[in-house]
Amino acid sequence: MTSYDELIDWIRLIRTESIGPVSFRKYVDKFGSPAEALHHLPTFKRDLKIVSPAQAEDEVRRAERAKLSYLTWADAAYPTALKAIDDAPPVLLVKGDIGLLSPAGIAIVGARNASVNGRKLAAMISGGLAAAGITVISGMARGIDGAAHDAALNAGGKTIAILAGGTDVIYPPEHAALHARIAEAGAVVSEAAPGAEPTAAAFPRRNRIISGLSRGVVVVEASLKSGSLITARLAGEQGRDVYAVPGSPLDPRAQGPNGLIRDGAALVENHSDIIALLAPLGETGAKIRAARPLHSQPIEIPQNTDGDDIRRRVEQALGPGPTAVDEVVRQCQVSAALVATALLELELAGRLERHPGNRVALIGRSRIY
């Protein structure tokens, strides 16, 4: 279990500006611990403003007042499935039952402006999974997410809500009662500090946690520009199964799941279909990779891992014509994981279009969320 002093070091490192999960892992891999990384960081980035011990201690006090619990990679309770992904959050804040985070559950995601039938289908699938003892995971958004959480609780099952803002921040506001119910009978989870308001850039990062905690992701209603499709793609990249509920071609909200089915996602219509597909995988799911150890061989660290700078470099490397993602990585001279994060944010902003052959292209500007 992470001690108090160790937790302060973990918080200081991950809350320091320009240090994300990927660079956090690189620094810890090189120096052996967050404390040693903090000691050596100024030699790599002289202008870096490292979070002070007092600031980290203030965060811990705010978490305690909100009755939140911390989980770090070093804790045995940190979910194995999530730890396996390359950009797993070094620190999670949880309100509710930490034990629910393992074993991996099933995520249900979809449109915020869901139809009545879409919400009904999500509720039927979620309630059936929950009654069968499978934890339902979603993002507590309007529409499909809320219907999935509500149905799991009504079935007497367990559900986990992954938030883009702080674990104690209720978003959307109308889900205040649902937030309280999930915290009481399930778990509310975030990598953000207590009190952090959700931002546009935080939603794609939130989505990787939804898929990372799951054995599979179910998409119920999603337009072609939906963040739910980002979650589905992340699930595939992480080695999870992707399931989709088909819909009428006349409904734009069916274009996402119908497209996933054409691309190889499993067509499902009820919870029994999902359980039948899960059965051959066993309890933990054969496709989920073994967790990476916290420490590995020392590696070289890029001098500049500032998120804004990387996004600018990625955007400058792209144009209206399709470009191979590998070429973008080569031109930007940063890790593939950092480029992938920048591409996700551009895609969510409606500024990126994906093409066959792992190629991407810039498109016109659009407002995020």
CATH architecture of 98-281: 3-Layer(aba) Sandwich (3.40)
Q: Which band of pLDDT confidence, cut at 50, 70 and 90, is reported for residue 326?
A: confident
**pTM for this structure?**
0.80
Q: Which band of pLDDT confidence, cut at 50, 70 and 90, is reported for residue 291?
A: very low
pLDDT digits (tens, 9 = 90+) for 347-359: 767 788 888 778 8
pLDDT at 201 over 70: yes
278-281 contacts, C-beta under 8 A, 24 or more apart? 278/106, 278/134, 278/215, 278/216, 278/241, 281/215, 281/241
Who wins on pLDDT, 369 or 316?
316
pLDDT digits (tens, 9 = 90+) for 56-112: 999 999 999 999 999 999 999 999 999 999 899 999 999 999 999 998 899 999 999
pLDDT digits (tens, 9 = 90+) for 9-51: 999 999 998 888 988 998 899 899 999 999 998 887 777 889 9
pLDDT at 320 over 70: yes
Share of the chain above pLDDT 90, in %: 66
Q: Which band of pLDDT confidence, cut at 50, 70 and 90, is reported for residue 306?
A: low
pLDDT digits (tens, 9 = 90+) for 109-148: 999 999 999 999 999 999 999 999 999 999 999 999 999 9
Average pLDDT value for the chain: 88
In the prediction, which pLDDT does 118 show? 95
Mean pLDDT of 210-214: 97
SS3 of the chain: CCCHHHHHHHHHHHHCCCCCHHHHHHHHHHHCCHHHHHHHHHHHCCCCCCCCHHHHHHHHHHHHHCCCEEEECCCCCCCHHHHCCCCCCCEEEEEECHHHHCCCEEEEEECCCCCHHHHHHHHHHHHHHHHCCCCEEECCCCCHHHHHHHHHHHCCCCEEEECCCCCCCCCCHHHHHHHHHHHHHCEEEECCCCCCCCCCCHHHHHHHHHHHCEEEEEEECCCCCCHHHHHHHHHHHCCCEEEEECCCCCCHHHHHHHHHHHCCCEECCCHHHHHHHHHHHCCCCCCCCCCCCCCCCCCCCCCCCCHHHHHHHHHHHCCCCCEEHHHHHHHHCCCHHHHHHHHHHHHHCCCEEEECCCEEEECCCCCCC
Q: Where are the domains of the chain?
A: 4-65, 98-281, 307-362
pLDDT at 260 over 50: yes
Mean pLDDT of 220-226: 92
307-362: CATH topology is: Arc Repressor Mutant, subunit A (1.10.10)
